[in-house]
Chains A and B, each alone.
Chain A
Amino acid sequence: MPQLSRREFASLAATTAAPFVFGQRAAAAIAAQDVIDRIKKNLGSEWKPDTVDGVKAGDPSIVLKGIVTTSMATLDVLQRAVKADANMVITAQPTFYSRTDAQAPPPPRGGGPADAVAEPDRVFAAKAEFIKKNNLLVFRFSEHWRLRQPDPLARGIAESLGWTRYQSSNDPLRFDLPALTLEALAASVKKNLESRGGIRVIGDPRTNVRRVGLLPGTTPIQASLKMLPNVDAIVAGEVREWETAEYARDKVFAGVGKGLILVGRVVSEEPGMKVCADWLKTFVTEAPVRHIPAGDPYWRPAS
């Protein structure tokens, strides 16, 4: 992933019509908390208390320098954000490797003595330290973001794939493409979503597909049961293999379904976070906003 130089970032910032020269202290400085407040105000739905969303690390009162959105706030993304002089990171996935975002690993299964002091974990500690040292604010924005209509995650994928004009008028998650083989579809998805080794497919590579449905993120069997009768193939983030993967395998064997393409959850939610950056720009003009992709976590040995 090419790193954006400071100059490139400044020129990008200039295009956002920020009322100050990037790098200088803005006259109308706002805090990260102000961004959070504006997100809640512009969301279009009530902010709910019991979700994974919210501040995960840092002090929301910091003076905002710049915002980075990403599918996953990996340490690499945080480092690139700091290099780009941003201090607020908005992530779709957890920061500390679990749904709870606790800044320590879970206790070992089976447990040890109740008073045993766990060794501090080097990876958790280094990430927390990096956030603290650079005075970053990390905000998770996932459940609320995907509640917006039309689905910004699907919109992001469609834009990345150049499919916007093929969107079905009946179903915003369905795209009626010029016919292509499942293999060609998979190759196009791999290239345009910048997938490396994370993409996996079920179905005959030579079969023709036309109607494609999108299921970003992690979805249960019910989502595919609902969608598959109306499409030839689904492009999804992740599914449980004992559910939807086996269902797709049987569907293909029965000759009534054509394909399932899995790109992984992180990759599937990345274009939606690019859309999120564009959305933030509509009500945050005091500081630059940009998207930094986390990239596909996976690779595969050359065979």
Chain B
Amino acid sequence: MTAGEVVDRIKKNLGVPWRDTTYRDTFKSGGPDTLVRGIATTVFVSLEVIERAGAAGLNMIIPHEDTFWNDRDDTTIVSADPLYKTKVDLLKKYDIVIFRMHDHMHAQRPDFTYVGSARAIGLESRYETAPGSHRFVIPETTLGQLAADVQKRSGARALRVVGNPNARVSRIQLGVGYATPPVHSAEIDVVISGEQQETDGTLDSPAYVLDAMTLGITKGWIMLGHAVSEEAGMLEMADWIKGFVPEVPVQLVKAGEPLWAPR
């Protein structure tokens, strides 16, 4: 089967209309005519992911994020860098076709990025206030204990936390990727998310949580990192694609967490 046929089935099974105006969810390497021998889902198409997918005979990669180190995959920004050629050559070597699933993955219900992240950090669905609210009321614990638990379950080496570790918390709002829910909401004790610009945004979580802590107001912020936050859901994505593409193997090829923390 061709990559075009796989994409047609994705569109047909998505449950929401395809928006052709997307610049994200398009082919980044190869095209609809490429013959597909196997499919790998991942959060980032790193060089290592290409090597492992290629070696496993999975020549269609469906990533959640960009391939060429900028959101629009604008190759004019990076084409002068030798690493760009290295990546393109490696993609050619394994005859790899890349089709990104970002905007439509977030538009889909459920949004697998949330499902996967909640699963990876141990937020059970019985604690979610309503399906798709991404708000969880868990048995009361401390921010320190919650962060330690999230770190242990997710394996995130470079997770970062702001807030008083002794603060007693139970109301969690889950965000994913670069979509960080507003931490100031009176309904929320803790935001757990992927990545956010540290200052100069529309509501700078670290500064707000620091000041809330100074005032003795319970607030916490746990940042998993972008890759850790959104990679788990690519397992759900792989399972979903398997359901309507039985002809070839479909599996998650983990990009993993790029960051580590020094002692």
Contacts and interface: CB of A to CB of B under 8 A. Distances in A.
Interface in B177-235: 178, 182, 184, 186, 195, 197-204, 206-212, 214-215, 217, 225-227
B160 A198 contact: yes
A303 interface: yes
A285 B77 CA distance: 48
A68 interface: no
Nearest to A261: B262
Contacts of A197: 160-161, 261
A122 B217 contact: yes
A183 B260 CA distance: 10
B216 to A, nearest CB: 10
| Interface SS, A side | mixed
Interface residues of A, number: 65
Interface stretch (A41-49, A53-61, A72-80, A153-161): A72-80
Interface centre among B144, B160, B162, by most chain A C-beta atoms within 10 angstroms, is B160
Interface string A232-258: 000001101111111111110110100
Contacts of A225: 77-78, 81
B19 to A, nearest CB: 19
B71 interface: yes
B114 interface: no
Nearest to A222: B77
A106 B182 contact: yes
Given A98-B204, A99-B202, A119-B186, A75 B211 contact: yes
A172 interface: no
B47 A202 contact: no
B160 A243 contact: no
Interface stretch (A12-20, A30-38, A208-216, A294-302): A294-302
Given A74-B207, A94-B207, A218-B198, A242 B44 contact: yes
A287 interface: no
27 contacts: A72-B199, A76-B211, A93-B204, A97-B204, A97-B211, A98-B204, A105-B182, A105-B184, A106-B203, A108-B182, A187-B262, A201-B259, A201-B261, A221-B78, A242-B69, A242-B178, A242-B226, A249-B48, A253-B47, A262-B259, A265-B199, A297-B207, A298-B162, A300-B158, A301-B144, A301-B147, A301-B151
